[in-house]
Structure 1
Amino acid sequence: MREHRWKIMSTTILDSRTFQPLQPAHQLWQLYAPESAPYRFQAQSVEDAQTWQTRTRAALNDVMGFQHLPCVDFEPKVIEIVDKGDYVREKVLIRTTEYSTMPVYLLIPKTSTRPLPVALAFHGHGYGVKDIVGLWEDGNERETPDGIQRDFGVELCRKGLAVAAPEISCFGERQTDFSYLRTDIGQGVPSTCDHTARLAFHLGGSVVGLRVFEGKRLIDYLETRPEFDTTRLGAMGLSGGGMHVFFSTALDERINACVICGYYSTFKDSILAMHHCACNFVPGLHRFGEMYDVVGLIAPRPMFVEAGNYDPIFPIEAVKRSVEIARNRVYRVFGCPERVETDYFEGRHRINGARAYDFLREKIEH
């Protein structure tokens, strides 16, 4: 029998310091330096902060992309009106651009005096806006809060606020039709978020920019409705909806107060540290430092941060650290660190609501 000789290769076990340079992210992390970002918050006085805000808000608009799309007539079409007893739910379609239509649910309390203060309600990942206005994914009515978003649009309405809840781009009725793909020969169907984000990157913008633009158009539309008082305007959202609230409040000064649930922390410890949908990313955002720097575009308006101690994608210690920096480095310049409030609750990635709903109502009615 012929003898086979196998050459045994010796293997060297690399320690962590030797192994790190083999990882591409190791090199990129060396370039991550929010402390030297050109648009980081460095103001030491209110006057300096206001100058910084004007310059930085314009620069962030440009980085987001799609903030200068041509506006068209809204051409509103009311699809349905449903009497829910203590409030009315209206569904309306509005045009945001020549090529884009956005469904919006309006929850209008019956008992409050007109014109009504308004809360923008931005849903996160899931089956879309129905999940925050008391509807199951098949459109059937739901009378008991469910899931991580807990029908928070309905809860805000029952606090006496008119609620405007849009179907955010890439979710629900606004998903891309990929029926042309040859799935029979192995072509997979991408998620709408991922595909739209990559297309937006190719065009020099971001899905975040698209969503912020449409949020602005929604406020423009609400200003045409006499039953709404948009001088008393707030915003609340969870996860991707919290991201929407964060950047929309930073870039649109018409929003008087905001509630950010399951999002506010640091880019380094969350968005850049683990898997997140591509719709969270904005090319060039590093020039604006960390989340607590961007907060300078929200200050001195009231901000509420809600976070669960077992949230796996927005680590609670990073949330707390970022909140303290926002209070002591940013809001203190404006003389109002107390305007950053928190609810650190026991739980995972979800809405809590123990203080958030009352906070938003109080701050926008103040």
Structure 2
Amino acid sequence: MIEKYYCVMGKLAETYNLEARKYKLKARNKEELNKWKKELKSKLKELLGIKNIEKNDLKPKVIEIEELEGYRREKVILETETNVFMPMYVLIPSDLRKGEKRPCIIAAHGHGCAAKDSTAGRIEIPAVKKSIDQYNCDYGLKLVKEGYIVFCNDARGFGERREWMNQGDSEEDLIKNSCNAINNAAISLGKTLLGMMVWDLIRIVDYIETLDYCDEKNIGCIGFSGGGLQAIWLAALEGRIKAAYVSGYFHSFKDALMKTNFCGCNFVPGLWKVIEMGDLGALVSPKALLIESGTKDPLNGERGMVDVQEQFGITKTAYSILNTENKLYHHIFDGVHVFNGGKMRGFFKEYLK
């Protein structure tokens, strides 16, 4: 029996303490904040590898249409970069009138769910029903029933985009992902999985602008867990997003990513030297931003809500500078790692009109 282990994570934490947050929020007024935001956005796009991705023609193809109770579900394939294809569902309310434009919401999925099938609420698939029962992650379906046009995509490495080592049709296979394999390859090429995920969501925004029934001035995003990761990054880097609902993903990189969140989609080379989570939230300002946190969510890290509140305080500083504190919310509920959605309806009703 081994009585002592010689580990390295403690040393990495020391390195973090010495080198972290070179771009931390220090602004004291609007001019300093705007300058910081401009410089930081450019730096983050560089770290994510987004600057290395070339824009191309989306070449959208609608390959399936189903009329369901209260809405239509279209399956669409987009070519988000050359020879990279992304399947997604577009959920369209049945009461959409000819010539009418509706607000749109991009619904990013997290881990442990069966990708777009879960956000779109396809409970006829056993693995999907199981994930929805566990995480309440069918928020795409809930939102189309509120009258929004909703876009539910497969993130890279999930659903129909799983790589060869994770493919298959069993219940277990359907919730697998290829995050680590993709990110390990990507970082050696100057790219990151997170950057590619965010790029794909930006291309959905591009697609929205081509649809005559979409109100391109009223675009929101939502996500739980890994979907919350994608949603906050999209809101921070994409100017066309008006409101973001981030659930189950708002905690410091240090407390959580060294302890709990080890999936490759979280890890960007050099990111910790630049910002913390609260700085990323500050970059979203002055857009409407709602952070949703479960008090017993283990992914918050060992300090729990203390850590979450610290990061929220950093974000709040930016909103205070811009006098837009009324557009920043922290919905705290008594629960574990699950999508709560208690403020979802009111939040989007207020900011997507």
176, 189, 194: which one aligns with 1:203: 189
**Measured at CA, do residues 140 and 33 of structure 1 come closer, stay the same or move farther in structure 2, by a change above 3 Å?**
closer
Q: Does 1:321 align with 2:314?
A: no
* Contact 2:250 2:291 (8 Å CA) reproduced: yes
* Separation of aligned partners in 2, 1:307 and 1:88: 32
* Separation of aligned partners in 2, 1:149 and 1:269: 26
Between stretches 351-360 and 33-42, larger displacement belongs to: 33-42
| Paired position in structure 1 for 2:211 | 225
Moved over 6 A (4+): 139-142
* Separation of aligned partners in 2, 1:172 and 1:141: 11
Q: Secondary structure at the match of 2:340?
A: coil
Between stretches 27-36 and 268-277, larger displacement belongs to: 27-36
Show the 5 A alignment for 1:265-276: 265-276=251-262
Q: Does 1:193 align with 2:191?
A: no
Letter of the 1:96 partner, please give it: T
| Paired position in structure 2 for 1:187 | none
Normalising by structure 2, report the TM-score: 0.88
Between stretches 24-33 and 53-62, larger displacement belongs to: 24-33
**Measured at CA, do residues 283 and 179 of structure 1 come closer, stay the same or move farther in structure 2, by a change above 3 Å?**
closer
* Separation of aligned partners in 2, 1:148 and 1:270: 20
| Paired position in structure 2 for 1:156 | 143
* Separation of aligned partners in 2, 1:64 and 1:97: 16
* Contact 2:90 2:150 (8 Å CA) reproduced: yes
94, 106, 109: which one aligns with 1:123: 109
* Contact 1:206 1:282 (8 Å CA) reproduced: yes
Cα offset for 1:85?
A: 2.4
Cα offset for 1:210?
A: 0.4
Q: Does 1:73 align with 2:57?
A: yes
Cα offset for 1:145?
A: 5.7
| Paired position in structure 1 for 2:173 | none
95, 98, 104: which one aligns with 1:111: 95
Letter of the 1:316 partner, please give it: M
* Separation of aligned partners in 1, 2:262 and 2:215: 36
* Separation of aligned partners in 2, 1:319 and 1:179: 33
* Separation of aligned partners in 1, 2:18 and 2:217: 34
* Separation of aligned partners in 2, 1:323 and 1:358: 21
Instruction: Give the gaps of 5 or more residues in structure 1.
Output: 1-10, 181-189
Identical-pair percentage: 30
Cα offset for 1:232?
A: 0.3
* Separation of aligned partners in 1, 2:227 and 2:18: 24
Show the 5 A alignment for 1:254-265: 254-265=240-251
* Contact 2:103 2:218 (8 Å CA) reproduced: yes
Q: Secondary structure at the match of 1:105?
A: strand
* Separation of aligned partners in 1, 2:67 and 2:267: 39
288, 303, 319: which one aligns with 1:302: 288
* Contact 2:93 2:147 (8 Å CA) reproduced: yes
* Separation of aligned partners in 2, 1:286 and 1:196: 20
* Separation of aligned partners in 2, 1:179 and 1:297: 35
Cα offset for 1:219?
A: 0.7
* Separation of aligned partners in 2, 1:133 and 1:37: 37
| Paired position in structure 2 for 1:184 | none
Cα offset for 1:205?
A: 2.0
Measured on the aligned residues, the alpha-carbon RMSD in Å equals 2.6
| Paired position in structure 1 for 2:323 | 335
* Contact 1:267 1:290 (8 Å CA) reproduced: yes
* Separation of aligned partners in 1, 2:116 and 2:157: 11
Letter of the 1:325 partner, please give it: I
212, 229, 238: which one aligns with 1:252: 238
| Paired position in structure 1 for 2:171 | none
Q: Secondary structure at the match of 1:326?
A: helix
Show the 5 A alignment for 1:42-61: 42-61=26-45
Cα offset for 1:330?
A: 2.0
| Paired position in structure 1 for 2:78 | 94
The structure with the larger Rg is 1
| Paired position in structure 1 for 2:228 | 242
